[in-house]
Amino acid sequence: MGTPTAEKLKVCYASKQVAADSDPLPTYTADAACTRTVIKDAALVEANDYWNGAVGYCTGNVTAGLAGEVFHVQDFAGGELTLSKPTSVALAAGDTFKLILGGGFGSSQEVFGMAVGGVLPEVAAVVGTNVTGLTINKVSPRCGAGTLSLFFDQSESLLYAKMGAEAFGVGVTTAGNPTEAVVFTADASAWVRFTIVTASLPVGDQTDTFTTSFPTGTMTPDYEGYETAESANGKSRYRLEVARNVDGAAGVMVGLNVNIDKPTGTATTVAGGGSLGTGAGSLALTDASDWPTRGYWIRNTTKTDCRPVNYRSGNTAVCMAVNWGTLGFDQGSVEIVVGATIEDATSGATAIVDQITVATGAWGTSDAAGSMILRAVDGTFGNNNVINVGATPSAVCDGDSALGFRGMTAVAWAAADAIEIMSDADIGAGTAVADEYESPTAETLAPDGVTFGTAQIELGHLEDGAHAGVWRREVIPAGMQARAGVSDDTIYSWT
């Protein structure tokens, strides 16, 4: 028994439409009269809004150029999916697609790896031009963006892989029609999964090169404008992925950990004379020249606080006001739900409930107690003040409300504070019961009992055949400038 190699961890989509662990995602078929922004399928008979927020992708038997194209559902009603942005061409009757939303069971569909020449090889064929008989099935995200070279050595009947100018890794046999075989690059962590028809291989040595790129929107959709509109008041959205050890030889992934990726950008400091309070304001930085230009997050590691950056001009980050926060409550007698507007009966402060957790008691016995995450906060909720929903007293404040994003408490920032780019999402470990994870009824509802943060999650030892769930939470403030290319890759490691 050895340590499982990198390709033995399969990270798969979860969906509330999957009936059992490792089942395939259901396939749907477009009806006639679709447009670039509306997909019609009379077989989608779920209630209105059921598919809101779903990620989808086109599969086989589709109009030319659509295979592997990813889309994001803004609204669902009456068998019609309204998309957040247009597909490259409209789906035609008979075109097939899949939808991913929620939790429940992990499917057999792996989260997509690298795009190869702009194509997702998990969905559409990517074949060798010079290395005839070669089909690429998946390229590991660890390969990264760049130039992938696959070299066929005829005399040795071996296939080699490398990225860029690095050396080739260890060769893998091409004899015997290998199916879903894996070849590693030199660092033994990045890999390419491939299939070969041995009889179709070329006569003589040959090399094929492919341009790899990170696909976007395949797990966490881009900010697409409508979600960041001021009128929407912002939101949080939650998605689950399931990681499996498929070693097949009783290999254990010892000390399995997962981290969340973040946009590129060099850590810096607040420039001399720079400062930032809890309101909207400009923050002068020592050097932010390689940071994104809009729609991202920064963290003050000196103060353990964070802010959304609306946009950057040179070394100045224009930050948004802190209008999210937390509030404890007790004596809960009338259930408060996500999306409700609450008001402090004494101070007049108002907010929208983004998440609510009942830690003890129950609404029915008038002793529900717990905490809330609030958005669109206006004013301060005071300790022991009554919380109204409309004109109905529903609970009592347990302590004053506190401003802050993503579980942090907002404080003033000052010169020389250390500042870094922050991930777009938080992650938390999910727990399965009989292989099934929780499946909230909407993407904006949090799974119970999951603690979120940006720190590394320790998942423990993952036995051969076992799986672990990782939830991601994305906080989207109202008014934040939309940004394309949002990437929230999860990075797993073990010993």
**H helix or E strand, kind and range, residue 74:** strand 70-77
Q: Map residue 199 onto helix, strand or coil.
A: helix
pLDDT (tens digit per residue) in 439-454:
998 899 999 999 999 9
Do β-strands 55-58 and 96-100 pair in parallel, antiparallel, or remain unpaired? antiparallel
Domain boundaries, the chain: 23-101, 115-213, 226-262+424-493, 268-322+408-422, 325-403
Q: Considering only CA atoms, which of 279, 372, 382, 273 is closest in space to residue 326?
A: 372
pLDDT band at 318 (very low <50, low <70, confident <90, very high): very high
Report the distance separating Cα 423 and Cα 298, nearest Å: 8
Q: Which of 59-63, 101-105, 481-485 has the highest mean pLDDT?
A: 101-105
Reported as a single tens digit per residue, the pLDDT across 210-220 is 999 988 888 88
State mean pLDDT over 359-384: 97
> Cα 436 to the chain's mean position, in Å?
20
pLDDT tens digits for 276-308? 999 999 999 999 999 999 999 999 999 999 999
Rounded CA gap, 149 and 170, in Å? Answer: 13
Q: Which SS3 state, helix, strand or coil, does residue 226 take?
A: helix
Under DSSP, the state recorded for 453 is B
From the list 143, 149, 142, the residue with the least C-alpha distance to 168 is 149
**Nearest-angstrom CA–CA distance, 223 and 311:** 14
pLDDT value at residue 221: 80
> 3-class DSSP state for residue 399?
coil
Q: Are strands 281-284 and 413-414 parallel, antiparallel or unpaired?
A: unpaired
Sequence-ordered list of residues with C-beta below 8 angstroms from that of 101, at least 6 positions apart, any chain: 15, 16, 17, 51, 53, 54, 55, 443
In the prediction, which pLDDT does 29 show? 97
Is residue 230 over pLDDT 70?
no
13 three-class SS: strand
Query: What is the CATH code for 23-101?
Result: 2.40.30
Instruction: Give the pLDDT band (50/70/90) at residue 229.
Output: confident
Q: In the numeric block, which tokens belong to residue 451?
A: 């603690």
**Residue with the larger pLDDT of the pair 379 and 64:** 379
> Which residue reads 């499982």 in tokens?
4
How far is residue 162's CA from residue 190's CA, in Å, rounded to a whole number? 9
Q: Which two tokens stand for residue 343?
A: 């008001």
Which of 228 and 288 is assigned the larger pLDDT?
A: 288
Q: How confident is the model at residue 351 (pLDDT cuts 50, 70, 90)?
A: very high
pLDDT at residue 487 above 90? no
CB half-sphere exposure, 284, CA atoms < 13 A? 8
pLDDT of residue 196: 98
Are 468 and 243 spatial neighbours (Cβ–Cβ below 8 Å)?
A: yes
Query: Does residue 319 have a pLDDT over 90?
Result: yes
Q: Give CA–CA dist 6/433, Å, rounded.
A: 27
φ, ψ of residue 29 in degrees (nearest 5): -125, 125
Question: pLDDT-based confidence at 140, cuts 50/70/90?
Answer: very high
Which of the four pLDDT bands, split at 50, 70 and 90, describes residue 225? confident
CA distances, 174 to each of 37, 199, 208 (Å): 44, 10, 15
Question: What's the pTM value of the predicted model, to 2 decimals?
Answer: 0.93
Looking at the predicted structure, is the pLDDT value of residue 232 above 90?
Answer: no
Supply the pLDDT for residue 1: 59
Residue 270's pLDDT band, with cuts at 50, 70 and 90, is very high
